[in-house]
Amino acid sequence: MKKALLYQLIFFISYTVSAQDVYVKAEYPAVVNAGEQFTVMWTVNSGGGEFTAPSFNGLYKLMGPQTSYSSSTQIINGKMSNETSYSYVYYLQAVKEGKYVIAPATFTLKGKTYSSDSMHIEVIGATAQKQNVRSGNNNSPDNEEVESAGRTLFINLSVNRKDVYLGEPIVATIKIYSRANIAGINEIKYPSFNSFLKSDIQTPPLTSLRQENINGTIYGSGVIQQFLLYPQVTGEITIDPVQISVLVQQKTKGESDPFFGDFFSSYQTVPKAAASLPVKIRVKPLPGVQPSDFSGVVGKLDIKATLNKESVNVNDPVTYKIVVSGNGNLKIASTPVLKLSPDIEVYDPKITDDLKNGPNGTTGQKSFEFLLIPRHNGDFTIPPVSYTYFNIASGRYEKLSTGEFHFNALRVKGQNSSTTVYGGVSKEDVKYLGKDIRFIKSDPGKLIKTGYILVSYQSYYSAFAFSFLAFLIILFLRREHIRRNSDLTMVRNRKAGKVAIRRLQSASICLKNGEIDQFYDEILKAIWGYLSDKLNIPVSDLSRSNAIAALQNEGIQEDMIKSLSELLDTCEFARFAPASSGAEASSIYNGASQFIKSVENSIG
């Protein structure tokens, strides 16, 4: 009787679940500010199907999807109801004002497709005030502006000037602002900087954040990277936003201890995404008529020329060197034009440079080393070489000129005065040597007939069969190798342990050198990278919750999962504890190594 009631109850629950209608519900803000970051979420009350998100035309996708699952069963007045929901969350940012329509999302289950409603989002003018960054140790340009609307995390792309001449240097600075503890940076997507000639400025690695007052709010800020940009086209150029994904430490929900406060509170690491606003640059063409000897350099230059010899023999080389130095876009400086006598053969110059990029532009020198060969004797003159650049300070073209150089080509004794040389090849009078032609040998020599025939030996066929069999084996192994490496997911899974061991070795080196902070970074990279490769979870979607769920699905024991959580908590806490010791770091290293070996033995 009890079994019959149990079967009826299971049938009733299954019927209730199967009979429910599948729906796809969208949740989103109707109005957002330009530059504001927001989330959109679709909820599906069924699993086992395939969810497809639409394209976010006009909006920047920062991160997603982040998926979550929930299930609940209720019995009200004798009626049982079961509700299951899957959520798909995307992080977006509004950039331009306007009204945007996002197409419906779809969910396909058993050959049937379900759709959500369209999203209608209006982007209005940003309410965030723009205020110059001013702090005690601020070295930023005076016109740098920071966009802030009281957010916890945002990133700013600033330039030192927005109205420039063609070829004038621009310094772009990428800076992060945060009011939360940042555990690490997952990914940074820099703009492509189309229509610019880009060079990296050496920027110190970001190890700590410095406090700044932004619109009355204290932020921790730091420069991530600086670039030196040279515009290559005129008109208005738009620099795309910078996108960044970081790991932020957040306190888990719970009341604080009345005696010890937050000392014994636990924290979790969650991913956060941010993007800067696009920046517009107005590039003006160079004024006036461009001279014929314009070098293409915009900045401030100086020129110097040297000649290594004043007297040489005919057909011997002399080196003429021109050095252009100063500040500007020296990388694109054109080669000076020499106007020499046709009796001097000129080779393409050897170009070397010694340039350094900095906040004030590119400084250094660029040298052009010409090889000159006189083909006749006499006195030769190298006329002055003109070199024009555009001076930003004066707003006009300025011409530089080298001095005039002279050298003498001497005739070599015994050299025929009527001898003419072209292209570096000496043309001498024809001399009969009598030994320049060797006659064909007419004697056939001694021929010997041999009875040795390779194919008459049995070992020849044995070697042929062995070689053919070895070829088939190598061919099979090669195809099997190609097949195994064609699945990138499986390759990452197989090599996850080796990659993690190399990262642990790097952590061991940091531990031996006393670099404790770098040691913890390497340990976290080893663990998160191993979980991403072994469980086939992208780094952008990897979190502690979905990693633990994936390990449970693989049949990993609970004590191993618990040791993983304790290891991550200890490691993340130790990174920010100034009193962490080498013994504690060694214990963390052994725990990480033991966890990776255990998972390798369990999953394989």
For residue 269, the 8-state DSSP code is E
Answer with the residue of higher pLDDT: 490 or 261. 490
3-class DSSP state of 134: coil
SS3 content of the chain, % helix, strand, coil (to 5): 25, 40, 35
**pLDDT over 50 at 13, yes or no:** no
Q: Are 390 and 396 in contact (CB under 8 A)?
A: yes
Using alpha carbons, list the distances in angstroms from residue 317 to 158, 297, 425: 52, 31, 14
- pLDDT value of residue 392: 87
Sheet holding 106-109, edge to edge: 50-52, 106-109, 112-115
What pLDDT, in 10s, does the model give residues 322-339? 999 999 889 889 999 998
For the chain, percent of residues with pLDDT exceeding 70: 79
Alpha carbon distance 160, 433 (integer Å): 76
In 10 A of CB 347, how many CB atoms?
A: 12
Alpha helices in 405-487 (DSSP H): 458-486
What is residue 98's three-state secondary structure? strand
Q: Cβ distance 316 to 411 under 8 Å?
A: no
The token pair at 331 is 């990388």
Can you give the pLDDT at residue 363? 92
User: Which run of H or E residues covers position 48?
Assistant: none
**pLDDT tens track for 289-312:** 889 889 989 999 999 999 998 899
Backbone angles phi, psi at 337, to 5 degrees: -100, 125
Asked if pLDDT for residue 278 goes beyond 80, the answer is yes
In tens, the pLDDT along 469-487 reads 999 999 888 888 777 666 6
Indicate the pTM of the whole model. Answer: 0.49
pLDDT of residue 130: 41
DSSP 22: P
> How far is Cα 309 from Cα 275, in angstroms, rounded to an integer?
60
Please report the pLDDT score of residue 576 as a whole number.
62
Across 232-343, the runs of DSSP E, i.e. the strands, are 235-239, 243-251, 267-275, 279-284, 294-307, 311-313, 318-328
Q: Give pLDDT, residue 236.
A: 94
Residue 15 pLDDT more than 90?
A: no
Q: How far apart are CA 577 and CA 144, in angstroms?
A: 35
**Antiparallel, parallel or unpaired: β 294-307 and 386-391:** parallel
pLDDT tens-digit series, residues 408-448: 999 877 655 444 444 444 444 445 555 556 666 667 777 77
- Tell me the C-alpha to C-alpha distance, in Å, between residue 488 and each of 475, 532, 540: 22, 13, 18
- For residue 54, what are its two tokens? 């639409």
444 vs 576 pLDDT, higher one: 444
DSSP letters for 155-205:
EEEEES-SEEETT--EEEEEEEEESSEEEEEEEEE----TTEEEEEEP---
What is the set of domains in the chain, with CATH numbers? 2-124 (2.60.40.10), 130-284 (2.60.40), 294-426 (2.60.40), 488-603 (1.20.120)
Stretch among 272-286, 309-323, 385-399, 480-494 having the lowest mean pLDDT = 480-494
b (16+ CB within 10 A) / e for 38-66: bebbbbbbbeebebebbebebbbbbbbbb
Which residues, listed in sequence order, are joined to residue 222 by a DSSP beta bridge?
176
Phi–psi pair at 454, nearest 5 degrees: -60, -40
Contact status, residue 560 vs residue 516, Cβ threshold 8 Å: no
Q: How many CB atoms lie within 10 A of CB 362?
A: 23
Query: 131-145, 476-490, 546-560: which range is least confident on average?
Result: 131-145
Cα distance between residue 78 and residue 504, in whole Å: 57
Residue 284 phi, psi (nearest 5):
-95, 145
186 by Cβ neighbours in 10 Å (0-12 / 13-18 / 19+) ranks as middle
Q: Which two tokens stand for residue 570?
A: 């200890």
Q: Which amino acid is at 64?
A: G
Mean pLDDT of the chain: 79
Which residue carries 């001497």 as its tokens? Answer: 410
Q: Is 486 left (phi over 0), alpha (psi -120 to 50) or beta?
A: alpha
Asked if residue 543 has pLDDT above 60, the reply is: yes
User: Given a cut of 80, is residue 119 above it in pLDDT?
Assistant: yes
Would you say 291 and 397 are in contact if contact means Cβ atoms under 8 Å apart? yes
User: If you compute the radius of gyration of the chain from its CA atoms, what whole number of angstroms results?
Assistant: 37
317-322 mean pLDDT: 94
Partners of residue 543 on adjacent β-strands: none
Measured distance CA(336)–CA(14) in Å, rounded:
85
**Which residues, at least 6 apart from 223, have a Cβ–Cβ distance to it below 8 Å?**
173, 174, 175, 203, 206
CA distance 225 to 158: 11
The predicted model gives 172-194 an average pLDDT of 89
Residue at 287: amino acid letter: P
Backbone angles phi, psi at 203, to 5 degrees: -120, 130
Kindly report, residue by residue over 368-404, the tens digit of the pLDDT.
999 999 988 889 999 999 999 999 888 899 999 999 9
Q: How far is CA 507 from the centre of its chain?
A: 23
Tell me the one-letter amino acid at 123. Answer: V
pLDDT band of residue 19 (cuts 50, 70, 90) is very low
| Cα maximum dimension of the chain | 128
Mean pLDDT along residues 276-283? 92
CA-CA distances (angstroms) from residue 347 to 318, 338, 342, 350, 406?
11, 11, 13, 9, 19
